[in-house]
């Protein structure tokens, strides 16, 4: 089965874990194969050595015992015995036929060593086929027994330890190699995730292997092209909007000299709408340069109170509600950009609901949320994200008849991004719209 066809649920989620799993399985299989080959070679070498030594050992030992007087043979048994081979006096106890191939091979080697000079019988012990005894009758008629335990010599204790240490080192090296290979990809993903057209993000370090340098250089170049394109687009929008002001003004002056009529009224209304569109187009272009404003420390509660009072002085129904969590603390932000954000949102609420509420909520280390609430018609859930796009209009109550240009929320969204924050739209229970401006406590 190919790896690409494995069920997805069997794969780890991260690339690091997947690559490490592949390396780990490969290393374990390779090490297992090495173990198998090592033990097979050791078994084969031990078998050949044992049979060769057995034939030579039996040949020498039997000749020595045969030449010794019967009363001295017992003293030599321990000297001639070694390891799993013991020489005993007497007829022995084995009486079972040989079943194992290893036992028959050992019997052939013993018979080859004796070379028909001595009568020999080889049997296996009852209950242990690997335990055999060869009964050899010497020339004086006395029997001796060669007692053999067939099997591999015991494995040295240090060998598995060394092999496990080798496997652990290989696994550690594989993990470090995978991390080293994937780290540039992680940095690239983080840079792409934090890429903001409205802010100049940190450039990727163009150092390391050739492939990493090439990818970093390509990403930095892409970031520069995006910034250049957006800057050119905003400059074009601002220039066109600015240049349109002169002919619109001339047209309004000419309309003033026209006789009163229905056409004059409609023309004046159309020119007013175009003028508002041009003015907000200029404001949207300028909002892209919100980063030029220097940050300052302000008392947020006093700032909101001043903004709300300005609307109340003009007779607008705007109220500041909720707890003043940071009434005595300063916030480091760009005040003019924040005022334009909240002004656009409040104007939007007044336009569609006739009243607005402003409140703030302390989110601790995550920053501050400022809410602009209304009881207007709200926005269909499927279009909450779309209304943040420039020139986007809804077909309901928020349409061209209300005089909107579709840039108010887009300007607020862009300036919020300049502040390093987020604009979140949601419909309120019972009707109306809630716009949350999430901003950090400070700007770096």
Where in the chain is CATH 3.30.565.10? Answer: 293-439
At 61 the pLDDT is 81
Topology of domain 293-439, CATH: Heat Shock Protein 90 (3.30.565)
pLDDT in tens, 370-427: 999 999 888 888 888 878 777 666 654 444 455 455 677 887 888 888 788 888 899 9
pLDDT in tens, 334-343: 888 888 889 8
pLDDT in tens, 75-104: 888 888 877 778 888 888 888 888 887 778
Kindly state the average pLDDT of the residues 346-364: 87
Q: What is the pTM of this model?
A: 0.47
Number of Cβ within 10 Å of residue 402's Cβ equals: 11
Domain 195-288 classified CATH 1.10.3470? no
Q: Residue holding tokens 């229970």? A: 429
Number of Cβ within 10 Å of residue 373's Cβ equals: 22
At 176 the pLDDT is 82
Highest mean pLDDT among 33-47, 217-231, 307-321: 307-321
Q: Is the pLDDT of residue 20 over 70?
A: yes
At 62 the pLDDT is 83
Where in the chain is CATH 1.10.287? Answer: 195-288
Kindly state the average pLDDT of the residues 156-177: 78
For 40-80, the DSSP string reads HHHHHHHHHHHHHHHHHHHHHHHHHHHHS-GGGHHHHHHHH
pLDDT in tens, 124-161: 888 888 788 888 888 888 888 888 887 666 666 777 78
Where in the chain is CATH 3.30.450.300? Answer: 1-193
CATH class, domain 1-193, is: alpha beta
pLDDT in tens, 176-228: 877 777 777 777 777 777 776 656 667 777 776 777 778 778 888 887 887 77
Structure tokens at 145: 């027994």
| DSSP structural state of residue 426 | E
At 199 the pLDDT is 61
Structure tokens at 176: 């470090």
Helix or strand (DSSP H, E) at 408? helix 408-418
Instruction: Provide the pLDDT confidence category of residue 326 given band limits of 50, 70 and 90.
Output: very low
At 12 the pLDDT is 66
């Amino acid at each position: 089965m190919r790896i690409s066809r494995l069920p997805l649920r069997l794969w780890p989620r991260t690339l690091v874990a997947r690559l490490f799993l592949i390396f780990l399985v490969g290393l374990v299989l390779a090490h297992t194969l090495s173990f198998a080959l090592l033990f097979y070679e050791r078994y084969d070498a031990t078998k050949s050595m044992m049979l060769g030594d057995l034939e030579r050992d039996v040949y020498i030992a039997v000749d020595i015992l045969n030449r010794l007087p019967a009363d001295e043979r017992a003293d030599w048994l321990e000297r001639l015995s070694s390891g799993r081979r013991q020489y005993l006096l007497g007829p022995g106890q084995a009486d079972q036929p040989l079943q194992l191939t290893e036992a028959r091979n050992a019997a052939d080697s013993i018979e080859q060593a004796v070379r028909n000079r001595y009568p020999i019988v080889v049997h296996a012990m009852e209950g242990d086929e690997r335990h055999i005894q060869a009964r050899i009758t010497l020339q004086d008629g006395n029997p001796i027994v060669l007692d053999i335990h067939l099997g591999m010599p015991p494995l040295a204790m240090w060998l598995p330890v060394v092999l496990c240490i080798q496997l652990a080192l290989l696994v550690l090296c594989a993990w470090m190699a995978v991390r080293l290979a994937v780290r540039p990809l992680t940095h690239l993903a983080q840079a792409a995730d934090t890429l903001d057209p409205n802010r100049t993000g940190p450039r990727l370090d163009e150092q390391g292997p050739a492939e990493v340098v090439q990818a970093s250089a390509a990403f930095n170049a892409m970031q520069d092209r995006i910034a250049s394109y957006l800057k050119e687009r905003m400059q074009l929008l601002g220039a066109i909007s600015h240049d349109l002001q002169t002919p619109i003004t001339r047209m309004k002056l000419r309309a003033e000299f026209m006789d009163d009529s229905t056409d004059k009224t409609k023309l004046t209304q159309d020119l007013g709408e175009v003028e508002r569109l041009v003015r907000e187009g200029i404001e949207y272009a300028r909002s892209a340069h919100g980063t030029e404003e220097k940050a300052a420390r302000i008392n947020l509660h006093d700032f909101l109170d001043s903004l709300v009072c300005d609307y109340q002085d003009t007779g607008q129904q705007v109220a500041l509600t909720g707890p003043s969590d940071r009434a005595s603390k300063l916030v480091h932000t760009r005040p003019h950009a924040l005022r334009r954000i909240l002004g656009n949102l409040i104007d939007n609420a007044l336009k569609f609901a006739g009243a607005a509420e402003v409140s703030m909520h302390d989110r601790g280390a995550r920053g501050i949320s400022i809410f602009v609430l209304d009881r207007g018609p709200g926005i269909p859930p499927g279009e909450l994200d779309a209304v943040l796009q420039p020139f986007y209009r809804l077909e309901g109550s928020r349409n061209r008849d209300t005089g909107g240009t579709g840039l108010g929320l887009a300007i607020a969204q862009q300036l919020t991004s300049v502040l390093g924050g987020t604009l979140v739209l949601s419909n309120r229970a019972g009707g109306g719209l809630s716009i949350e401006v999430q901003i950090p406590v400070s700007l770096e």
